[in-house]
Amino acid sequence: MKTDCRVCGGKVREFVDLGRQPTANGFLTPEEAEREFFFRLAVGVCERCAMVQLIEEVPQELRYHGAYRYHASGSAGHRQHFEQNALRFLETELTGPDPFVVEIGCNDGVMLSAIAEAGVRHLGVEPSTNVAELARAKGVNVLTRFFDEGTAADVRAEHGSADVVFGANTICHISHIDSVLRGVDELLSPGGVFVFEEPYLGTIVERTAFDQIYDEHVFYFSVTSVRAMAERFGFELVNAERIPLHGGEIRYTLARAGARVPAPAVGALLADENARRLSEPETLERFRRTVEGVKDELLTVLREVRAEGRSVVGYGAPGKATTVTNYFGIGTDLVPFVVDSTPSKQGLLVPGSHLPVRAPHAFSDPYPDYALLFAWNHAEEIMAKEQEFQDAGGRWILYAPEVRVI
């Protein structure tokens, strides 16, 4: 069992255990389901640097490989967000002669394709070969490798230093985060920035978004813990912006210590985290009890509607659905199948709970009485698209931040 902090070596104190869980994006065939990998999904907080992190972890090769199911371009909202990110970098950071940007975890090229279109030098570092291929098909340069200090040194030797190193929903996935920060130190130009956007502990606690907890999310960042981490590796946290992705994230900007004036938002968010006692054991214990309450309530609702003979379909098969179905014990008796728009998930089973994943047309064929919204962070986009379901009398079941039937 892991008890030392991956950032500072301090003691990690466990506060929640979501039980025996598989890898969240390890969608499988019925034959593969026979020999599935499980681990104990538990989270703790470092008593020294406040970094919230998994207690046990899944080796990275079991999470990222040639059949990685998450495609970043899967939602219109995400495509738009990352295109805007690219434009912002082009306007504000990549303005010198022959700029160079590196993205850690570029996935299917959702961000870098806009950089490539602008003709700017770039490199995606992406170990999952199947999504790396999708990025290449969009004209993106990709190195299929795990980012760490060795990779950083090789990239620098071949391409020179980077003006921007970017990562989205990736930096919190990498357990060797010390090596990542040393690598960025090696790679970044003196005036460059390391920008990363990741799920926010503040949102997870505030919205009871416990389903953000899964094997890939090794760290649950806060402004407090990221600032301490930045300083430890010679950087300074110069900006922290709240963004709406995945239900509420923070975009952190690190620069070399003293190179840039920190934005007022950093101090404001730190003060807010202190006032909320975000990383304190009592707060995290309260979070655990709230999660247990949601579990009881959701199971009661599902059992009631099923006992009345009503049909229920799961909507979306995000990594989050793996945590929820396995922790709550939701099987095909309660939710016979889920629909998801990602072609590579269709026809497979949700890890652990083994709910079959079907294509979206199965949703209206015929409409169920209830839809359990696993992809709740895309609620607006999905509910607008599925207006006919509601018009036909269908009702949505939501469970974050609390159980609601609407």
Q: What residue ranges bind ligand SAH (CB under 6 A)?
A: 60, 64, 68, 70, 72, 104-105, 107, 125-128, 131, 146-147, 168-170, 173-174
Report the residue from 44, 74, 105, 183 that binds ligand TYD according to the rule CB under 6 A. Answer: 74
Q: Is 48 in the site for Zn ion (CB under 5 A)?
A: yes
What's the closest the beta carbon of residue 222 comes to Zn ion, in angstroms? 12
Q: Is 173 in the site for ligand TYD (CB under 6 A)?
A: no
Q: Using CB positions, name the residue nearest to ligand TYD.
A: 318
Among ligand TYD, Zn ion, ligand SAH, none, the one that 342 touches (CB under a kind-dependent 5 to 8 A) is ligand TYD
Report the residue from 88, 191, 385, 388 that binds ligand TYD according to the rule CB under 6 A. Answer: 385
Choose between 60 and 189: whose C-beta lies nearer to ligand SAH: 60
Tell me how far apart the alpha carbons of residues 16 and 208 are, in angstroms, rounded to a whole number. 13
List alpha helices for 123-195, DSSP H. Answer: 129-137, 149-159, 177-187
What's the closest the beta carbon of residue 67 comes to ligand SAH, in angstroms? 11
What's the closest the beta carbon of residue 317 comes to ligand TYD, in angstroms? 5
Q: By the 8 A CB rule, do 46 and 7 touch? A: yes
Using a CB cutoff of 8 Å and minimum separation of 24, what contacts does 236-244 make? 236/260, 236/262, 237/262, 237/266, 238/193, 238/262, 238/263, 238/266, 239/263, 239/265, 239/266, 240/265, 240/266, 240/269, 241/265, 242/200, 242/269, 243/81, 243/197
Among Zn ion, ligand SAH, ligand TYD, none, the one that 5 touches (CB under a kind-dependent 5 to 8 A) is Zn ion
Choose between 5 and 54: whose C-beta lies nearer to Zn ion: 5
Report the residue from 26, 127, 202, 318 that binds ligand TYD according to the rule CB under 6 A. Answer: 318
Among Zn ion, ligand SAH, ligand TYD, none, the one that 120 touches (CB under a kind-dependent 5 to 8 A) is none
Choose between 136 and 260: whose C-beta lies nearer to ligand SAH: 136
Phi, psi of 390 (to 5 degrees): -70, -40
Choose between 303 and 385: whose C-beta lies nearer to ligand TYD: 385
Choose between 144 and 341: whose C-beta lies nearer to ligand TYD: 341
Report the residue from 10, 19, 262, 360 that binds Zn ion according to the rule CB under 5 A. Answer: 10
DSSP string, 337-352: -EE-S-GGGTTSB-TT
Which residues lie closer than 8 Å to 308 by C-beta, 6 or more apart? none
Which residues make beta-bridge pairs with 195?
Answer: 166, 253
DSSP, res 354: -
Among ligand SAH, ligand TYD, Zn ion, none, the one that 21 touches (CB under a kind-dependent 5 to 8 A) is none
Instruction: Provide the 3-class DSSP secondary structure of residue 160.
Output: coil
What's the closest the beta carbon of residue 179 comes to ligand TYD, in angstroms? 24
Q: By the 8 A CB rule, do 186 and 122 touch? A: no
What's the closest the beta carbon of residue 397 comes to ligand SAH, in angstroms? 26
Q: Which of 405, 341, 333 is nearest to 373 (CA)?
A: 405
Among Zn ion, ligand SAH, ligand TYD, none, the one that 319 touches (CB under a kind-dependent 5 to 8 A) is ligand TYD
Q: By the 8 A CB rule, do 11 and 4 touch? A: yes
Count of residues touching ligand TYD (by CB under 6 A): 17
C-alpha distances out from residue 367 to 360, 363, 383, 386, 395, Å: 11, 6, 14, 10, 10
Which residues lie closer than 8 Å to 14 by C-beta, 6 or more apart? 42, 43, 44, 55
Q: Is 81 in the site for ligand TYD (CB under 6 A)?
A: no
What's the closest the beta carbon of residue 245 comes to ligand SAH, in angstroms? 8
Question: For residue 401, is the peptide bond before it cis, meaning its omega torsion is within 30 degrees of 0?
Answer: yes
What's the closest the beta carbon of residue 21 comes to ligand SAH, in angstroms? 18
Instruction: Provide the pairing of β-strand 162-168 with 188-199.
Output: parallel
Tell me how far apart the alpha carbons of residues 106 and 138 are, in angstroms, rounded to a whole number. 12
Q: By the 8 A CB rule, do 222 and 52 touch? A: yes
Report the residue from 46, 165, 238, 254 that binds Zn ion according to the rule CB under 5 A. Answer: 46
Q: Is 378 in the site for ligand TYD (CB under 6 A)?
A: yes
Q: Is 316 in the site for ligand TYD (CB under 6 A)?
A: yes
What's the closest the beta carbon of residue 319 comes to ligand TYD, in angstroms? 3
Sheet holding 142-143, edge to edge: 142-143, 121-125, 100-104, 162-168, 188-199, 249-256, 235-243
Q: Is 134 in the site for Zn ion (CB under 5 A)?
A: no
Q: Which residues bind ligand TYD (CB under 6 A)?
A: 70, 74-75, 316-320, 340-342, 375, 377-378, 381-382, 385
